[in-house]
A and B are shown apart, each in its own frame.
Chain A
């Protein structure tokens, strides 16, 4: 067996062992083993995914289940597999902290252990499933375990909200696949792609719509986003991190896989609903993050915005595919991959940070002095999440914006207007997210301590810090190593002088050189640190930031008025 296969087997077997351990060993010990095995699975998966992303031939194997399904990890799925495995490893490590905190509630630990192992198994099998039944079964395992995880810890209304969305999502995905395959239930994805090309346009549209609904509801795109932030605010932090990194990642992977490998070439009209969903999600995430006081909810909304950005990039890729500008399509797709993977890493890390710093932004402050290590890691994760240079999320946003800008001469006027509007909204929302993140940085980490902040005055423990620092480190490295990563997975045309200091990402507006950006950013950070005495006192207070935020929110009252009108209309309809 090759190292690729070995590590993949470790990644796949470890969560099964974690499940067995949780189900049959005494909970006092089993949760620890469960967490370690999940972490091992994540590490194995990340290595296997890295092998798979650069391997010439995909890993394939036949299994007796699902009517002789062939499981496969090709280059495309391997890229995503790396991202979700890193999050699984970090969440597994952080689960040890959760286990130590809840030693007295052994029944609950057993419950969480079994369900988180099932969730990981389901998510991994979604990636490697080679036919419809395998995919749907794995998807359903994942969603059912999420429901019971949410149910065990959250308010029942939150669990039921998720259940409604997940049931409708599974129903839509199943129906969509069946329509595309003309009822050929046992077909693999290759055959499905062939069959989808044979069906009439109406069926194709219905199938596409159902798949879009199924995946969008799981990703938590607007208007199906409420469950996401409610769940994030209530479940344990490591589960929240798993949901952010793995659940959203798997749903995104499924959608892109369908667009690229299953559906026949679609007209540009199919890209419009995706773009609309993406843009509305960006706007929703940006505005809701400003309005929130719960820190986990703020992180959840920032994550939502990132997902919206990634989906908008996919919409861009679909549009470029429809108008046969394949170079731009490739750039958009790679930008989306980077956005989803790196923002998943950053978002998951932020949920772990949120567990340590407390829940209410009004009651937490001045942590930079008391928790310097955590503060640095949190800064890195926050800046990465909103796409600041030199992080890979910035590069992906740059790729997206420049490609869209560069394509203006080649596209029709209506499309150019839509693209321009998307760019403007995107930039405005980036500004809003900078305000949100600034609010968190100043409110929670800088400035002075406020009421109740005395409760969290010591630095986080090593076991708490390890997964967070790991994620922050990977988020930072991903920015600098992006040209090398692109070159390794075969996206050479997007890179320039990869592997050298001068290496960078090629876009329509020239080459974005990572080394230079790194030096510039580092220099600015060093200068700022050196002259900190002159500006640190002038950092606006949390109250000043809040006043600024309220002004911005007041400007956005048009949206609130629309919401009030909409609610009134709904109320009348109900009567």
Chain B
């Protein structure tokens, strides 16, 4: 019994990376929740359930357990989203529910299909669609978006990469088919982000940015086997940066009133834009460079689309660091101090890890972590 239980779990560098990320986001969210506006007990319980699901999904070595954890995490995120949307219209709530039921259902079907070799392509498509559509729920604005929108997409995207490995093995085509799927999908998402920002003038900037970064990760993976290395780096890096910025935007008035908080938010924002020495700088440089070699024209288009997206994101989020300079001498409140601590950790991770990744040892570590994708 014990052996059967243990056989569904595995531990490697990549799992540890995910656990560290989950831990950092959970501690930060908890610290700010305790000291900020009080959360409802039911919200905390649901978030805890989501935390357990996400940790289990990171550890699992079994498709059935993965499907179970996915369902639990999506349900938890849906509950949080519905709670946050209490005042919203019935239509929006129904849409959230439909998205939840659809993604869980599709994931379950896809997981079942993975055991049949003749439908392996369909299985992969169904699992990929389910996973990626669930991100719509994870990124919804709730009190815990910084945790749910940060950790869950990383864990389930890595799970999707493991499913890709199974599909590649079954199809025996060196991953050409799945890579093309990711390439097209990634380019499509980035294009959609450009359309939303430039033409439709959408204002949910961090959500659009999150989706766009997921698109970029998919694009990097689609570029070829070596693209997995920058993709993993980017996946983790964007989660850290976005979570930090969600903390900031949730307390934008608090951030505006203090110079240190403004600087920390500005630094996080710069890292999200791929400022040098940040994690995303390394991943974008390696990933897009690799994609340029593999698909020149498409990669060039994506590259310039990213530049446009960055400009529009700054136009929108500029209010976070704009405004009159607050006085340096004003003492910080307890909440501001905790927020500053949490943001400082995120900034340190973004730039510390980014600097480490610019060394031989750092990139070797990333290569080892990416190689662990194959082990399921």
- A190 interface residue per 8 A CB criterion: no
A64 contacts B293, C-beta separation under 8 Å: no
B285 touches A174 (CB 8 A): yes
B297 and chain A: residue at smallest CB distance:
A206
Query: Known contacts A67-B360, A137-B276, A164-B311: does B326 contact A174 (CB below 8 Å)?
Result: no
Residue B39 CB within 8 A of the other chain: no
Q: Interface digits, B286-308 against A, CB 8 Å rule (1 contact, 0 not)?
A: 10111011101001100110110
Interface size class of A (residues with CB under 8 A): 35 or more
Say whether A136 faces chain B, with CB atoms less than 8 Å apart: yes
In the complex, the answer to whether B292 meets A64 with C-beta atoms within 8 Å is no
Is A406 an interface position by the 8 A CB rule? Answer: no
Q: Are B325 and A108 in contact (CB under 8 A)?
A: yes
Residue interface mask A153-186, B partner, CB < 8 A = 1: 0001000100110011011001100110011010
Does A92 sit at the interface, judged by CB under 8 A?
A: no
- Give Cα distance in the complex from A140 to B294, angstroms: 24
The reply to whether A156 and B303 form a contact with Cβ atoms under 8 Å apart is: no
Per DSSP, chain A at the interface is helix
A174: chain B residues within 8 A (beta carbon): 285, 288-289, 303
Q: Are B292 and A68 in contact (CB under 8 A)?
A: no
A133 at interface by CB-CB < 8 Å: yes
Which residues of A are found within 8 Å of B270, using beta-carbon distances? 144, 148
Give the residues in chain B near A68, CB-CB below 8 Å: 360
A107-162 at interface with B (beta carbon < 8 Å):
107-108, 110-111, 122, 133, 136-138, 140-141, 144, 148, 151, 156, 160
A388 within 8 A of B: no
Q: At the interface, yes or no: A45 with Cβ under 8 Å from chain B?
A: no
- Nearest chain A residue, comparing its CB with the CB of B290: A183
Residues of B in contact with A, size category: 35 or more
Nearest-neighbor residue (CB-CB) of A66 within chain B: B358
| Contact, CB under 8 Å: B327 / A140 | no
| A-side contacts of B292, CB under 8 Å | 175, 178-179, 183
Whole-angstrom CA separation of A426 from B125 in the bound complex:
63
Known A136-B285, A148-B266: A178·B293 in contact at CB below 8 Å = yes
> A27 on the interface (CB 8 Å rule)?
yes
Known A106-B328, A137-B281, A141-B276; contact A171-B358, beta-carbon cutoff 8 A: no
Interface flag for A573 (CB, 8 Å):
no
> Within 8 Å of chain A (Cβ to Cβ): is B315?
yes
> In chain A, what residue has the closest Cβ to B292?
A178
B275 interface residue per 8 A CB criterion: yes
Partner of B318, one of A66, A105, A156, A182: A156
B281 near A140 (CB under 8 angstroms)?
yes
On whether the beta carbons of B358 and A107 are closer than 8 Å, the reply is: no
Find A137's partner among B315, B326, B328, B358 (CB 8 Å cutoff).
Answer: B358
Contact of A167 among B311, B358, B359, B363 (CB under 8 A): B311
B2 at interface by CB-CB < 8 Å: no
Residues of B within 8 A of A141 (CB): 275-277
Say yes or no for B85: interface residue by CB 8 A criterion. no
Q: B285 to A185, Cβ gap below 8 A?
A: yes
- Asked if A65 lies at the interface with its beta carbon under 8 angstroms from chain B, I say yes
From A67, A107, A163, B259 is in contact (CB under 8 Å) with: A107
Of residues 115 through 157 on chain B, the ones whose CB sits less than 8 Å from some CB of chain A are none
* Contact between chains at A144 and B289 (CB < 8 Å): no
* A160 & B281 in contact (Cβ 8 Å cutoff): no
Q: B322 at the A/B interface (Cβ < 8 Å)? A: yes
Chain A neighbourhood of B327, CB < 8 A:
107
Residue A203, interface by CB 8 Å: yes
Chain A residues proximal to chain B, CB less than 8 Å: 27, 64-68, 105-108, 110-111, 122, 133, 136-138, 140-141, 144, 148, 151, 156, 160, 163-164, 167-168, 170-171, 174-175, 178-179, 182-183, 185, 203, 206
Known: A107-B327, A107-B328, A171-B307. 15 other contacts (CB 8 A): A68-B360, A107-B259, A137-B281, A137-B358, A138-B276, A140-B274, A140-B276, A160-B311, A164-B311, A168-B304, A171-B303, A174-B289, A175-B288, A183-B289, A185-B286
Q: What are 17 residue pairs bridging A and B, where the CB atoms are less than 8 Å apart in the complex?
A: A27-B328, A66-B358, A67-B359, A68-B360, A110-B328, A111-B325, A133-B358, A137-B358, A140-B276, A141-B275, A144-B270, A168-B307, A171-B304, A174-B285, A175-B299, A175-B300, A185-B285
